[in-house]
Amino acid sequence: MNLPENKMSVLKRIGIPIVEHCNLKCKGCLHFCNSNQEEFYYDCEEFERDVMRLSELFDNIEVLILYGGEPLLHPKIIRLLEIVRVYLKKTKIEILTNGLLLPTLDENFYQSIKKYDVCIGWSAYPVGKKINMKIEDTLISEKVVYYKNDVQMFYGIFNPLGNSNSYYQWKRCSGRKCHVLRKGYISVCPAPAVEHIINQSFDKQLDFSTSRLNIYDESIDAEKILYFLEQSHDVCKYCTSARTFIWERQSKPKLEDWYGKVGGNE
């Protein structure tokens, strides 16, 4: 499968979870970080291999997002930013963070995000007016390019029975463009990349392996990846209509925290 000669292969957006635990344990975290017992930091060499591979596969990647867990917990985040910029010169780089660590970071960090032209995506949770003011003051005084999403509500979409109509769920899903790369595998959304956390935390044996694509497969090319990312997958049968709830912390999670609406699994 080859693209016509004059057609560029463009991946619009890819997220890379560089850390899988978090300093803010949100109930129903879509990345299951509040239930994760283990610390994971994307290894720098593995990260470089994976980003280099993406840069070989695609003519352009428009947006690359480092997220977590809380990505600012990664001790080598500056090195990771440098790697992205070396291989992806035109890509818009974002760090998606809850912001809690921003006031504690040093000049080296703030100089680096300017050097590598990084935008901060701040998810502002209702953690206290003073804390959020301190975060915003830091962003302003450090002259950071940032955007802010105020978060008040969360939602659960998990159908533990896994009997939803995959195509129907995928077609109306707002997260189906949030593609993820984790340890050499790419997936339509974060769900296939957190299978191991769900299984460890809740003693499950979910298998989302058919919903991930190995970017090192010899027969893979950009068009095959883009086609794969534009399809519903087996994992989508574990999604259902969203059940919304007010954001709160939850350090003793139950799988029910993630459940979606009963009867939303057409």
What does the binding site for ligand SF4 look like in residue numbers (CB under 6 A)? 22, 24-26, 29, 31, 33-34, 68-70, 98, 169-170, 173, 175-176, 188-189, 191, 235-236, 239
**Minimum distance, C-beta of residue 146 to ligand SF4, in the bound complex (Å):** 16
Q: Which is nearer to ligand SF4, 87 or 259 (CB)?
A: 259
Q: Quote the Cα angle for 118-123-128, to 5°.
A: 130
Which 8-state DSSP code applies to residue 197? H
**Minimum distance, C-beta of residue 214 to ligand SF4, in the bound complex (Å):** 19
d(CA 217, CA 65): 23
Q: Which is nearer to ligand SF4, 85 or 260 (CB)?
A: 260
**Minimum distance, C-beta of residue 188 to ligand SF4, in the bound complex (Å):** 5
Q: Which is nearer to ligand SF4, 88 or 192 (CB)?
A: 192
**Minimum distance, C-beta of residue 160 to ligand SF4, in the bound complex (Å):** 13
Q: Which is nearer to ligand SF4, 29 or 77 (CB)?
A: 29
Q: Which residues does residue 26 pair with via DSSP β-bridges, in sequence order? A: 249
How would you classify residue 260: left for phi > 0, otherwise alpha for psi between -120 and 50, otherwise beta?
beta
**Minimum distance, C-beta of residue 110 to ligand SF4, in the bound complex (Å):** 21
Q: Which is nearer to ligand SF4, 68 or 156 (CB)?
A: 68
List Cα–Cα distances, 122 to 41, 103, 107, in angstroms.
20, 13, 19
Closest CA to 105 of 89, 120, 87, 90: 120
d(CA 157, CA 75): 32
